[in-house]
Chain A
C-alpha cells in the first residue's frame, strides 16, 4: 500500500512533471490560455498516461528490448486516437479548443518518459498509480498556470469574471508571448528556491529517482534534455560542464563509424545511456 501512496506523492509533489521536471512544455504553453483548457488537457493526458502505463507494463515481458520505443509509440498513439474519438464525440467544445494538441499528446515527453523509466520495469498496478500521480501532477501544473494566465489576462477564472470592472486585463498574458514570460518566471522562482535550498543544506537528494525520470525522456521524444539538464545545471553555475549538442554530435560520429545495422531503438538506447552517465556526473 505504501508503494502506491508514494507513487501518487512522487507524481503530484516531489516529481511534479510541470514544476519539477519541466516536461511536456509544448502543451503546457500552448493550451494554458484558460483554466478550463488547462484542466481539460491535463485530464486528457492523465487518461492516456494511465492507460498506456498499464498496457506497457502488461506487455513489458513481450516487447523485445530493441524495438521497445517504436512499440511504446504505437501503444501511446492508439490510446491517443481512442481518446480523440471520444472527445470529438462527447466533449466537442474541448476538442475544438485543444485542436491539434490532442494528437500531439503522442509526442509528449511525459508519457514516453514514464513508459521508459517506470512502466517498463514495474507491475501493472504500480504503473497505474504512477500514471495517476504523474497525470494529476501535470493537471495541477496546467490548471494553475491556466488560472494565473486567465485571471490576469482576462480577469476571469473558469470563465467566471471575478476581477472588478475597472481591471484592465493584461491581454499579452493569454497571447503567445505571455506563455513564454509566465514559464520563464516560473522556472526562475524554482531556481531561486533550489539555490537557497542548496546553499542551506548542500545537495538535496530526492527520494524519487529523479535523474532517471528525466534522463529517459531526454532522447526518446522532444528532447526534454534542454529543460532538465540546463534548468538544473544553470542554477548550480556549472555551465561549462553542461551537456551540449557537441557531446551528442561526437557520440553520433563515433557511432556512425561503428555502423552495424543498428535500428532506431538501439541508437537511442546508446545515446540514452550516455546521457544517464552524464546526468550522474552532475
Chain B
C-alpha cells in the first residue's frame, strides 16, 4: 500500500462516515414529523370508512389472528392494524382494519376498511397503492371503490362481464391483477373481522 492509496482510502472512508452520520441526523430529526403525518393519514382513512364513529381504539389483533388461524387463513394479505370504532358515548359500532395485500402489480397495496357489528362493509380507503397510472390506479376512483360500499357480503368475487349481484365487483379493464389484489385483500379483512364479530356475539349471547 503506497502512501497515496492510504490517503485515498482514508478520505473516501471519511466522506462515507460523514455522509452516514448526517443521514442518521436527518433521519432522527424527520422521524417524528413523518410518523405524525402517517398517523394523520391513517386516522383520516379510518374516518372515511367509518364516518359516524367518534373514536378509534386499538383492538387486539393477535387474538383474532389466533382465531382465524384455527379456522385456516389462506390469503396473501396481512392485517396490519385492528381498531374498534366507537361512538361518542363509547358504544361499539364496528371495526376498522388496515390490510396490506401482497398481490398488487406494483407491490403492496394497503387500505383501511370499516365493518359494522352486523357485518356490513362500510367501504374502503387506500393508504398506499403504486399501480400503473391509468390502469390499476383506477382502483382509487370512486367508481371502483364504491362497489364495496354498504354491502352485507361475506366474500366478494370479481367479474369481467358486468356484475349481477352485491357480491360481484366489476373488474378494472386491463388491470385484473389489481382488481384481484384488492378483492382478495377485502375478503381477507372481512373474514378476519367477521370471525371476531362472531366470537364477540357468541360471548354476549
Contact = CB atoms under 8 A, between A and B. Distances in A.
Nearest to B17: A74
A67 B11 CA distance: 9
Nearest to B9: A67
A174 B134 contact: yes
Contact of B12 (A70, A169, A261): A70
B73 interface: no
Contact of A96 (B5, B30, B34, B128): B128
A78 interface: yes
A183 interface: no
A62 to B, nearest CB: 7
A34 B130 contact: no
Interface string B1-32: 00011011101100110010011001100100
A97 interface: yes
Interface in A65-79: 66-67, 70-71, 74-75, 77-78
B11 A85 contact: no
B37 interface: yes
Given A74-B19, A89-B34, A175-B135, A99 B11 contact: no
B90 interface: no
A150 interface: yes
Max count, chain B CB within 10 A of own CB: residue among A59, A67, A75, A88: A67
A150 B129 CA distance: 19
Given A86-B30, A89-B34, A171-B174, A67 B8 contact: yes
Interface size class of A (residues with CB under 8 A): 35 or more
A21 to B, nearest CB: 26
Contact of A154 (B23, B38, B128, B134): B134
B58 interface: no
A44 interface: no
Interface string A166-177: 000101001100
Interface string A13-55: 0000000000000000000011011000000000000000000
Contact of B106 (A90, A99, A150): A99
Interface string A79-94: 0011001101110100
B8 A66 contact: yes
A203 B5 CA distance: 44
A259 B11 CA distance: 24
A153 interface: yes
A171 to B, nearest CB: 5
A88 B130 contact: no
A96 B137 CA distance: 11
Contacts of A153: 134
A202 interface: no
Given A78-B23, A89-B38, A34 B30 contact: no
Contacts of B7: 64
B8 A154 contact: no
Given A85-B27, A171-B174, A78 B22 contact: yes
A261 B2 CA distance: 10
Given A86-B30, A89-B33, A171-B174, 13 more contacts: A64-B7, A66-B5, A71-B11, A75-B19, A85-B30, A89-B34, A89-B37, A99-B106, A99-B107, A171-B173, A174-B132, A174-B135, A175-B135
